[in-house]
Amino acid sequence: MGLQLPRLHVVSEPFQGERLYFQFGVNCMKKLLILGAGAGGTMIATKMRKLLSEREWEITLIDRDPIHHYQPGWLLVPFGVDTPQGCVRPKKDFISRGVNFVIDTINAVDPISRKVECQNGTYTYDWIIIGTGARIAPDEVPGLLDDWGGKIHNFYTPDGAAALYEKLKRFKKGRLVLHICETPIKCPVAPLEFVYMADWYLQKMGVRQNVEIELVTPLTGAFTKPVANNILGALCEQKGIKVTTNWTVDSVEADRAVIASVTGDEIPYDLLVTIPPNLGQEFLIDSEVSDVTGYVDTDKELLRAKKFDNMYIVGDATNVPASKAGSVAHFEVDVIAQNLMSDIEGTDNYYRFDGHTNCFIVTGFEKASLIDFSYAVEPLPGMFPLPGVGPFELLGESHINYWGKLMFKWVYYNLMLKGHELPFEPNMYLAGKDTSLLRNK
């Protein structure tokens, strides 16, 4: 299943550009440059290598890090459900034959002259896809780094997740505060998953009765959409997790172990698990390709940069109003491949992305929930059909959802990154969902 993408005809004899190259030493091959070899960049490189003739197109993928990180696993590491070693693999293991993989630091993008400056060289392009993701920026919040690794921890980095695992093993009593500095963030359901899993973990350790758990968010609820917020917020209440909303951080007073809001309110902590500001890459800001937060202004349906016709954006690097989640990058890849091929071939066979997102949410005790939504349709209860495996329950806890969450890592490494087709359409479908909740609104 999935989009049926057009394929270029590969000619049996050298095309004119090759003749020119051999006769005059001029390389006339077209160049597709992809920045970032995370989930989105790796998948789109594999997809485009299948679609574009190797005789006509050179594809180069650039990333500064040779290690591929399975980011959903970092949330599981602090609770011993996964390990740091199990969440990393060499990126070269997932790079398709015929893709030139370069390890280098990107310094600047010049979209006018169509070139990218790296630490060790310059690369020109005809088309470019930016998939450089998001980064945490704890330095954006005054005081957040003052006790980093002491009473203040995060799970958005490998080292942070491993350090938090050690910290939680020794945490026997006090106030555990999970704090979201600002949005957007990578994996918007991760804060909820963390407090649900903390409740589970501390009960297994026999100390839950000695620990207060509080989720502090700048949002108006535990989740951004009404139906899901009611269900997931009620689950927090059942678990004895306090949710403090509309809370905008001003600073962290590490010497007093409190976080302070812009209105002067304070929340004390014994262990602060923070989700720092998430920003795009600095070189995109410096190159004036992105906005001041580092995210590229992107057409939310075509996934093309609004300012540059030969630039597409995949994954967390976009500013589209979809979640910064791996599922979104996966769905975007098919859309970008379709639309880029339409550009190259001069057709108007464009696919329009609807913001499709789905995420498992571990709720504890080997159970999880699942949400599936889009730009226009919020998460709804129901069943998510998946022949041979599912169905998975939507906005309801089940063991099969939990094992689906754990099984997904195998799917990610062995199918998604290697370009195998999965039985999902890029855009969301309503089958199995309780749409009466939409009609009643």
Amino acid at 208: R
pLDDT digits (tens, 9 = 90+) for 380-398: 999 998 877 779 999 999 9
Task: Identify which has the larger pLDDT, 32 or 19.
Answer: 32
Supply the pLDDT for residue 11: 29
CATH superfamily for 136-278 is FAD/NAD(P)-binding domain (3.50.50.60)
Supply the pLDDT for residue 441: 52
Q: How confident is the model at residue 19 (pLDDT cuts 50, 70, 90)?
A: very low
Amino acid at 148: W
Q: What is the mean pLDDT of residues 336-358?
A: 97
Q: How confident is the model at residue 165 (pLDDT cuts 50, 70, 90)?
A: very high
pTM of the model: 0.92
Q: For the chain, what is the mean pLDDT?
A: 93
Beta bridge partners of 302: none
Same fold yes or no, 16-134+280-345 and 136-278:
yes
Q: How confident is the model at residue 136 (pLDDT cuts 50, 70, 90)?
A: very high
Domain boundaries, the chain: 16-134+280-345, 136-278, 359-439
Beta bridge partners of 59: 32, 99
pLDDT digits (tens, 9 = 90+) for 113-127: 999 999 999 999 999
Sheet holding 121-124: strands in order across? 106-110, 115-118, 121-124
Supply the pLDDT for residue 241: 99
CA gap 71, 190 in Å, rounded: 11
pLDDT digits (tens, 9 = 90+) for 283-322: 999 999 999 999 999 999 999 999 999 999 999 999 999 9
Specify whether the CB–CB gap between 154 and 273 falls below 8 A: yes
CA gap 419, 422 in Å, rounded: 9
pLDDT digits (tens, 9 = 90+) for 40-74: 999 999 999 999 999 999 999 999 999 999 999 99
Top CATH class, 16-134+280-345: alpha beta
Letter string b/e over residues 205-224, b meaning 16 or more CB atoms within 10 A of that residue's CB: eeebeebbbbbbbbbebbbb
Supply the pLDDT for residue 13: 31
Residue 181 pLDDT exceeds 50: yes
Supply the pLDDT for residue 440: 55
Q: How confident is the model at residue 4 (pLDDT cuts 50, 70, 90)?
A: very low
Specify whether the CB–CB gap between 413 and 89 falls below 8 A: yes
pLDDT digits (tens, 9 = 90+) for 402-426: 999 999 999 999 999 999 988 888 9
Supply the pLDDT for residue 45: 99
CA gap 112, 40 in Å, rounded: 24
Letter string b/e over residues 261-290, b meaning 16 or more CB atoms within 10 A of that residue's CB: beeeeebebebbbbbbbbbbbebbbebebb
Q: How far is CA 81 from the centre of its chain?
A: 20
CA gap 420, 428 in Å, rounded: 20
Q: What is the mean pLDDT of residues 200-204?
A: 99
Residue 164 pLDDT exceeds 70: yes
Beta bridge partners of 116: 109, 123
Supply the pLDDT for residue 6: 40
- 143 phi/psi in degrees, rounded to 5: 85, -10
